[in-house]
Amino acid sequence: MKLAKRVAALTPSSTLAITAKAKELKAQGLDVIGLGAGEPDFNTPVNILEAAKKSMDEGQTKYTPSAGLPGLRSAVADKLERDQGLTYRTNEIFIGTGAKHVLYTLFQAILDEGDEVLIPTPYWVSYPEQVKLAMGTPVYIEGKEENQFKITPEQIKAAVNSRTKAIILNSPSNPTGMIYSPEELKAIGETCLEHGLLVVSDEIYEKLVYHGNKHVSIAQLSPELKKQTIIINGVSKSHSMTGWRIGYAAGEESIIKAMTNLASHSTSNPTTTAQFAAIEAYNGPQDAVEEMRGAFESRLDGIYDSLLEIPGLACVKPQGAFYLFPNVSETAKLAGYRDVDEFAEGLLENALVAVVPGSGFGAPENIRLSYATSDAALTEAVKRMKEYVEARM
């Protein structure tokens, strides 16, 4: 069967691919340590599970409005007000099937063929593919490692033309863990306003910030920027609810309405039970969010210095999310590999450590390690990597 061109051209998610390969090796009985995962390793907090069960027992198992339950849209509006001082009406909020599908729906709603979207590198693997699926054109801006992988207003200016429609910002970033400061965001925001760019602000790692670093949304900086921004967020990373598939968009009513129309012909609505769970996630106690954040912070502290002992490796210290994104181009060479992709493959097959090659994120000299796993597994993984490289030098 001949597939649609736009689908045949898709690159499969490199993060899911490495996780699948690691699982395969594990199934063969091998003791693989997976650092590829993009999800918290904690259980969803009990109060959220209880709320979900209660909603089912009460018979809340039918379709909901396509933009989500009114109670969840208000819970998100309250959250945005409480956490970020941002006021949104409920008709400026769209609930979707995870932030990933919310982004997909957004690009379908705003892009025409040939519209350009600025994507800073290193980027989350799905951005370019989602833009291409909406017939848009990704235009990459290099977040230089010496600038902590962040882009500058000058780079935006150089990349903008009459087809440029939007820019994606992801802070804290997957894969780098870097956070844009309010000053940096202000400068970027001014440039976006100047050129009429819609800012797609992916804030899914908002709650995972460390060592006194703070997350600020670009929408908080001025009413003009709020108007020009669409915030993307959800419960996956903050409340360890990856499998529930609930995310949201907050922004201009006309965009939210278009996304709702699209959802009415695709998903109809996100799973009802998951929406009830998400209401509790936002309205209930937030202690578990802070506990998980604290656990990630101490894991980062526990692993960072020992990682630097791997020969040839250099790593900017992350400020948020739960990833390390070391440059291992030198390490790969020392270990006798042609490039980092091959090195990552070698690590998995021989040292039984699964990491994600940076090529899938637009940064071929780096690898991504997730520290959403136990301290013991992290220590063992770094030990194996170090010994493997040293043995091949």
* Residue 277 touching ligand PLP (CB under 6 A): no
Out of 19, 34, 37, 38, point to the residue binding ligand PLP (CB under 6 A). 38
Rounded to the nearest whole angstrom, what is the least distance from the CB of residue 311 to ligand PLP in the complex? 30
Q: Which of residues 162-181 bind ligand PLP (CB under 6 A)?
A: 170, 174
Name which of 242 and 283 has its Cβ closer to ligand PLP.
Answer: 242
d(CA 360, CA 341): 10
Is the N-terminal amide bond of 175 cis, ω within 30° of 0?
yes
Q: Write down the least CB distance from residue 358 to ligand PLP, Å.
A: 15
Output the six-digit token pair for 16: 């899911």
In the shown chain, the binding pattern of residues 234 to 273 toward ligand PLP, with x for contact by CB under 6 A and - for none, equals x-x-----x----x--------------------------
Cβ pair 277, 243 in contact under 8 A: no
Inter-residue contact 180 to 205 (CB < 8 Å): no
99 binds ligand PLP (CB under 6 A): yes
Burial class (CB in 10 A: 0-12, 13-18, 19+), 154: exposed
**Strand, coil or helix: 316:** coil
| Nearer residue to ligand PLP within complex by CB, 17 or 314 | 17
Which tokens go with 380? 């063992």
Residue 100 as a binder of ligand PLP (CB under 6 A): the answer is yes
- CB closer to ligand PLP out of 242 and 286: 242
Number of residues that bind ligand PLP (CB under 6 A): 13
Taking the least distance from each CB to ligand PLP, the nearer of 166 and 335 is 166
CA distances from 357 to 276, 335, 363 (A): 37, 16, 8
Which is nearest to 186 in space by CA: 231, 227, 145, 222? Answer: 222
Closest approach of Cβ 235 to ligand PLP, in Å?
7
Query: Which parts of 313-352 interact with ligand PLP (CB under 6 A)?
Result: none
Task: Outline where DSSP puts E strands in the chain.
Answer: 33-34, 93-96, 116-121, 137-142, 164-170, 198-202, 229-234, 247-250, 323-324, 353-354, 356-357, 367-370
90: how many CB neighbours lie within 10 A of its CB? 16
Work out how close the CB of 289 gets to ligand PLP at its nearest, in angstroms, rounded to a whole number: 15
CB nearer to ligand PLP: give 114 or 243: 243
Fill in the amino acid letter for 226: K
Compute the least distance from the CB of residue 300 to ligand PLP, in Å.
17
**Single residue of 36, 40, 98, 362 touching ligand PLP by CB under 6 A:** 98
Fill in the per-residue mask, 58 to 97: x = in contact with ligand PLP (CB under 6 A), - = not in contact. ----------------------------------------
Give the nearer residue to ligand PLP in terms of CB position, either 236 or 373.
236
Q: Interaction with ligand PLP in 103-162: which residues (CB under 6 A)? A: 124
Distance (Å, whole) CA 28 – CA 10: 29
Bridge partners (DSSP) listed for residue 229: 199
Taking the least distance from each CB to ligand PLP, the nearer of 210 and 337 is: 210
Nearest to 16, CA basis, from 136, 96, 129: 129
Q: Which residue is nearest to ligand PLP (CB)?
A: 98
Residues 6+ apart with CB under 8 A from 180: 150, 169, 171, 188, 216, 218
Which lies closer to ligand PLP via its Cβ, residue 123 or residue 337? 123
Output 310 or 324, the one with its CB closest to ligand PLP: 324
- Binding piece for ligand PLP, criterion CB under 6 A, among 98-106, 267-275, 290-298, 366-374: 98-106
Shortest distance (Å) from residue 236 CB to ligand PLP: 3
User: CA–CA distance from 197 to each of 46, 141, 225 (Å)?
Assistant: 41, 15, 10
Pairing label, strands 198-202, 164-170: parallel
- x-marked contacts with ligand PLP along 197-236 as a string, rule CB under 6 A: -----x-x-----------------------------x-x
Contact residues toward ligand PLP (CB under 6 A) are 38, 98-100, 124, 170, 174, 202, 204, 234, 236, 242, 247
